[in-house]
Amino acid sequence: MSETASKPETATAGLDFIREIVAADRAAARRGGRVHTRFPPEPNGYLHIGHAKAICLNFGIAGEYKGLCNLRMDDTNPETEDIEFVRAIETDVRWLGFDWETRSYYASDYFERLYECAVALVRKGLAYVDDLTGDEVSRYRGRWDEPGRDSPYRERPVEENLDLFARMRAGEFPDGSRTLRAKIDMAASNMNMRDPTIYRIRRRPHYRQGDAWVIYPTYDFTHPLSDAFERITHSLCTLEFEDHRPLYDWYLQALDFEDPPRQIEFARLNLTHTVLSKRKLLELVEGGHVAGWDDPRMPTLTGMRRRGYPPAAIRDFCDRIGIAKANSVVQMAQLDDAVRQELNRTAPRVMAVLRPLKVVIENYPEDRTEELDAVNNPEDESAGTRKVPFSRELYIERNDFREDPPRKFFRLAPGREVRLRYAYFLTCRDVVKDGDGNVVELRCTYDPETRGGYAPDGRKVRGTIHWVSARHAVRAEARVYDHLFTAEYPEDLPEGVDYREGLNAGSLERIADCLVEPSLAGAAAGARYQFERVGYFCVDPDSTPGALVFNRTVGLRDTWAKIARKQGAGG
Ligand code: ATP
Ligand code: MG
C-alpha cells in the first residue's frame, strides 16, 4: 500500500474556488506565474483533522501546479509553544504523505527582521508607542457600532517613538506598560483597523529564542510579513481571518513589498460528535478525560494514526469534502466511510472472536489438526492465501448463537446447520449450561464432506460464521471506540453548560479475553486488519507478542446488523 500522496495534475474542470483563483493567477502570470503556499501551524498543540484539510489544500495545490509548499511554525507566542509540538507536527505532516523538503521555517527566526519592519513603520509615521494600559486600549477602541478614540500618545514624534520602541526591546519597561501600534484609523468600521497592536512587552522565555526578546509581535503583523519573506503567492487561511485581510494587505503595502501574497479564506472543517479546537483538546488531555493526544478517540492525527486510520483515507476524505466559502459541519460517518473504503481495499482479513463461546465437534478426532486455506483479501488477489488451523474445539462469537433464534436470524441455533468460514458445515446438537442457565458450550457435529464450505449434495446453509481453533488461538484485548461526544453538535450548548458534560461515558469499551487466529501472534504495532464480520482493527503500540492489543478502527458496513437492529434481533 502506498502511503504517500500523489495526484495527477488535474484539468480546470470542477476546480474549487481557490484552485480557480490560483489557475487564473497563473494564466495571467501574476507573481511571475509562481505557486507557493505554506502550512503555518502554531506549535501549541497537536494537529487535528481540521489541520489535515489545510495541509491537503496547501500541499495539494502546490503539487498540482508544480509549485512549492513551506512548513512554517507560527511561533510568536512564548506562553504556550513547545518543541514537543513542533516534532509532533512534523511527524504528522509526513505521515499524511506530504514533504516540505528543505523548506522548514519558523516565524520566530524572523524576529529580527520583523523588528526592523516595525522600525520602518515608525520611521514612516505609520506606527507609534502607546502608553495606555490594556484596559484603556480596549475602552478607546470603541465598539462595532461606535467609533474609537485616538490615544493621547498617537501623535508622538517619530524620534520619540524610535527611542521608546528601542527601550521596549531593551527591557526598560514592565510587561504590559506599553505597546507598539499601527497608526491606521480609530474610526474604521473594521475593528481590526483601529490601530492594531504590533508589539507587546512580555517577559517570557521563548522555546527557541530563550531570553533574547522581551517584546513579541502579534499574529496579524507576523503573518503577512512571514508570507512576504518566504515569497508566498497564495496565503490560504480559515474564514475567521476574512476581517483581518485589510490589515494583512495594509502591512504589506505600508512596507512596500512587491508582488505581495494574496490571502484567501476558506471554511474550516467542523465534524459531528467531536470538538476541533486545540484549546479544548488540550483541556481534555490535561483533565484526564482521554489518555493523551494520541488517544484513539481524539480527532488528532496522532490519535487517528493510533486508531488505524490510513493516511490515504484522510486525504481521500479531505478531497471528498472539498473547499467552500461557507461554514458547515461534516458528518463523522463520512470520515468513517472513507476509512472503511480504504481499509476494504488494503487490509488483510483474519478471523478473531471478541466474545468467545466454546464449540466441541463431537465427530472430529481429538488429536487432529487441519490447515485450511483462507483468502487474505477478496478485493486484492495478489494478497494470496494463508493457512488457518482447524481442530475439534473451536470458539465462535457468542452472538452468532441463539438458543431461541428470532426470525431472520440465520446463524447457529439448536439443530441448525451453518458454514464455518473456510472450513465445514457445522450442526448444533446440544447446549451445555452452567448453574445459572448461561450457555457455556455447544456440542456440535460437522460434515466431513463439506471441506472448503460447500456440500457435494448441493444443500445450502443460510449463515456463515467465523471461528478460531481453541488450541491454536492467541489471546488479545480489543478496544472498541465510540464517539467522544454523545451529541452530534457538542458545542451547541445552553448557557452555562460546559462542553465536557457532553463527553460520552461509553466511548471506550475494553474487551479483555478475545481470541485471534495464530497468524496474528507477531503482529506489529500499526498493522491493520479486517476481523472478518467484526470490523477493522489496528495493532496498538501497547501491544506485545504475549499480550496483543487491538484498536477497533471502524466497524464494517454490516447489512445484517442493520436488519437485525430494525427487527430488534440484537447484533
Ligand atoms: P485551533 O482553533 O484548533 O486552535 P488554529 O487555527 O489556532 O486552530 P493553527 O495551528 O493556527 O491552529 O492552524 C494552522 C492552520 O490550520 C491555519 O492555517 C488554520 O487556518 C488551519 N486550520 C486550523 N483548524 C482548521 C480547521 N478546523 N479546518 C481547516 N483548517 C484549519
Ligand atoms: Mg491559529
Average pLDDT value over all residues in the chain: 94
Question: What value does the mean pLDDT take over residues 252-266?
Answer: 97
Question: What are residue 157's phi and psi, to 5 degrees?
Answer: -65, 150
Is residue 265 within 8 A of residue 239, CB to CB? The reply is: yes
User: Over the stretch 371-380, which tens digit does the pLDDT of each residue have?
Assistant: 999 999 999 9
Which of 194, 278, 349, 533 is catalytic? The answer is 278
Alpha-carbon gap, residue 353 to 230, rounded angstroms: 55
Query: Using 50, 70 and 90 to split pLDDT, how confident is the model at 14?
Result: confident
Is a pLDDT exceeding 50 seen at residue 366?
Answer: yes
pLDDT bin (cut points 50, 70, 90) of residue 546 is: confident
H or E element that contains 440: strand 439-447
pTM exceeding 0.85: yes
Interval between CA 45 and ligand 1 midpoint (Å): 11
Return the pLDDT at 518.
97
Q: Is 488 tagged catalytic?
A: no
Query: Best of 38, 42, 51 to mutate for ligand 1, by most ligand atoms within 8 A of CB?
Result: 51
pLDDT grade, residue 73 (50/70/90)?
very high
Q: Which residues contact 142 (CB under 8 A, 6 or more apart)?
A: 148, 149, 186, 191, 194
Encode pLDDT of 100-144 as tens digits.
999 999 999 999 999 999 999 999 999 999 999 999 999 999 999
Residue 42 catalytic? yes
pLDDT band at 258 (very low <50, low <70, confident <90, very high): very high
* 51 Cβ below 6 A of ligand 1: yes
Nearest residue (CA) to ligand 1, atom 27? 50
51 CA to centre of ligand 1 in angstroms: 6
Q: How confident is the model at residue 13 (pLDDT cuts 50, 70, 90)?
A: low
Q: What is the pLDDT of residue 504?
A: 97
pLDDT band per the 50, 70, 90 thresholds, residue 8: very low
4 CB within 6 A, ligand 1: no
Q: How far apart are CA 74 and CA 89, in angstroms?
A: 12
Indicate whether residue 237 lines ligand 1 (CB < 6 A).
Answer: yes
| Short-list 495, 484, 449, 442, CA closest to 465 | 442
The per-residue pLDDT for range 41-59, each reduced to its tens digit, is: 999 999 999 999 999 999 9
Question: Do 537 and 550 form a contact (C-beta atoms < 8 A)?
Answer: yes
- The alpha carbon of 245 and the centre of ligand 2 are apart by a number of angstroms equal to 15
Residue-wise pLDDT tens digits, 480-529: 999 999 999 999 989 999 999 999 999 999 999 999 999 999 999 999 99
Write the DSSP assignment of 219-285 as a string of letters. Answer: HHHHHHHHHHHTT-SEEEEEGGGGGGHHHHHHHHHHTT-SS--EEEEEPPEEETTS---HHHHHHHH
pLDDT of residue 545: 87
Ligand that comes closest to the CA of residue 327: 1
pLDDT computed for residue 569 by the predictor: 44
pLDDT band at 7 (very low <50, low <70, confident <90, very high): very low
**Each residue's pLDDT tens digit, 270-308:** 999 999 999 999 999 999 999 999 999 999 999 999 999
Number of H helices, E strands in the chain: 13, 27
Instruction: Tell me how far apart the alpha carbons of residues 96 and 104 are, in angstroms, rounded to a whole number.
Output: 16
Question: Which ligand sits closest to the CA of 93?
Answer: 1
Cβ(404)–Cβ(393) under 8 Å? no
Active site residue 408: no
Which of 268, 317, 321, 499 has most ligand 1 atoms within 8 Å of its beta carbon, as the pocket-test mutant?
Answer: 268
| Model confidence band, residue 557 (pLDDT cutoffs 50, 70, 90) | confident
Q: Per residue in 194-228, pLDDT tens?
A: 999 999 999 999 999 999 999 999 999 999 999 99
What are φ and ψ of residue 156, in 5° steps? -55, 140
- CA angle (168 as vertex; 165, 173 as ends), nearest 5: 140
Ligand 2: distance of its center to the CA of 544 in Å? Answer: 39
Output the 3-class SS for 267-315.
CCEEECCCCCCHHHHHHHHHCCCCCCCCCCCCCEHHHHHHHCCCHHHHH
d(C-alpha 454, C-alpha 303), whole Å: 43
The total number of residues shown for the chain amounts to 571
Residue 75 Cα to ligand 1 middle (Å): 14
